[in-house]
Amino acid sequence: IEEAGIHSGDSAAVLPPYRVSAELQDEMREIGRRLAIRLGVVGLMNIQFAVYQGQVYVLEVNPRASRTVPFIAKAVGVPLVRLAAQLMVGKSLEELGFTEEPPVPGVFVKAPVFPFRRFPGVDPVLGPEMKSTGEVMGHSDSFGNAFAKAWLGAGHRLPLKGSAFLSVHDQDKEALLPIALRLRQLGFRLCSTHGTASFLKEQGLEVERVRKVHEQRPHVADLLINGEIDLVVNTPLGRESQKDDMVIRQTALRYDIPCITTLSGARAAVEGIAAMRKDGLSARSLQSLHRPEPVSG
pLDDT at position 216 is 78
Q: Which of 42, 33, 38 is nearest to 92 (CA)?
A: 42
Domain regions of the chain by residue span: 17-71+81-97, 159-257
Beta-carbon neighbour count of residue 93 at 10 Å?
A: 12
Q: What is the number of residues in the chain? A: 297
Q: Is 80 left (phi over 0), alpha (psi -120 to 50) or beta?
A: alpha
pLDDT at position 240 is 52
pLDDT per residue over 105-123, tens digit each?
Answer: 999 999 998 887 777 667 7
Is residue 160 within 8 A of residue 276, CB to CB? The reply is yes
Beta-carbon neighbour count of residue 103 at 10 Å?
A: 9
Distance from C-alpha of 80 to C-alpha of 102, rounded to nearest angstrom: 11
Residues contacting residue 176 through CB under 8 Å, at least 6 positions apart: 166, 168, 196, 199, 200, 233, 263, 266
Model pTM score: 0.87
pLDDT at position 296 is 47
- The SS3 call for residue 183 is helix
pLDDT at position 292 is 58
Low-confidence ranges of the chain (pLDDT < 50): 294-297
Q: Which CATH number fits domain 159-257: 3.40.50.1380, 2.140.10.30, 1.20.1250.20, 3.30.70.260?
A: 3.40.50.1380
